[in-house]
Copies of this chain bind each other. A is one copy, B any other.
Amino acid sequence: MTLQPFNIGGLSRQTGVNIETIRYYEKIGLLPPPARSQGGFRQYEDRHLQRLRFIRRGRDLGFSIDSIRALLTLAERPDSPCEGADQMVLLHLDEVERKIADLTLLRAELRKMKNCCGRVVAQCQIIGSLVAPRE
């Protein structure tokens, strides 16, 4: 399964993660440092690809770096109980639901505001509602 090791550019293309971001993940200890070529190029293997894909999915799901760190640690111990992961998903789901609720209120406010007759600042509803919000 494991082919030749590949450079950072290859890893980037295979995961959709920016090269700078990959180096950043290494710096903060999220991605283990790979072997190096004679000239100092990073040489990645399959395990890096797997791990970075995991990270990427976690980020796409909106988990913080710290949460992903915890999930990775967990994933490395297949025999341990998975309550921790379950908790994290529930917490994060709460967070996301709260954000949706907040943004939905915001959207309602903005929709109320946008019905501006379109004339002059002095009569503008938008400016007006920033100066003193309507009930």
Answer yes or no: A40 CB below 8 A from chain B CBs. Answer: no
Answer yes or no: A9 CB below 8 A from chain B CBs. Answer: no
Answer yes or no: A58 CB below 8 A from chain B CBs. Answer: yes
Q: Please, which residue of chain B has its CB at the minimum distance from the CB of A97? A: B107
Q: Find residues 82-135 in chain A having any chain B CB closer than 8 Å to their own CB.
A: 82-83, 85-86, 88-90, 92-93, 96-97, 99-100, 103-104, 106-107, 109-111, 113-114, 116, 118-124, 126-127, 129-131, 133
Q: Give the complex CA separation of A61 and B103 in angstroms.
A: 9
Q: Find residues 36-65 in chain A having any chain B CB closer than 8 Å to their own CB.
A: 50, 53-54, 57-58, 61-62
Contact B131 A54, beta carbon cutoff 8 Å = yes
Given A79-B120, A133-B57: A127 and B96 interface contact (C-beta under 8 Å): no
Q: Give the complex CA separation of A58 and B107 in angstroms.
A: 13
Count of this chain's copies in the oligomeric assembly:
2
Given contacts A75-B130, A81-B118, A93-B114, 15 further A-B contacts (CB under 8 A): A53-B131, A54-B130, A61-B110, A62-B106, A71-B126, A71-B130, A74-B121, A79-B121, A81-B121, A82-B123, A90-B114, A96-B110, A99-B103, A100-B103, A103-B103
Interface residues of A (CB under 8 A from B): 50, 53-54, 57-58, 61-62, 71, 74-75, 77-83, 85-86, 88-90, 92-93, 96-97, 99-100, 103-104, 106-107, 109-111, 113-114, 116, 118-124, 126-127, 129-131, 133
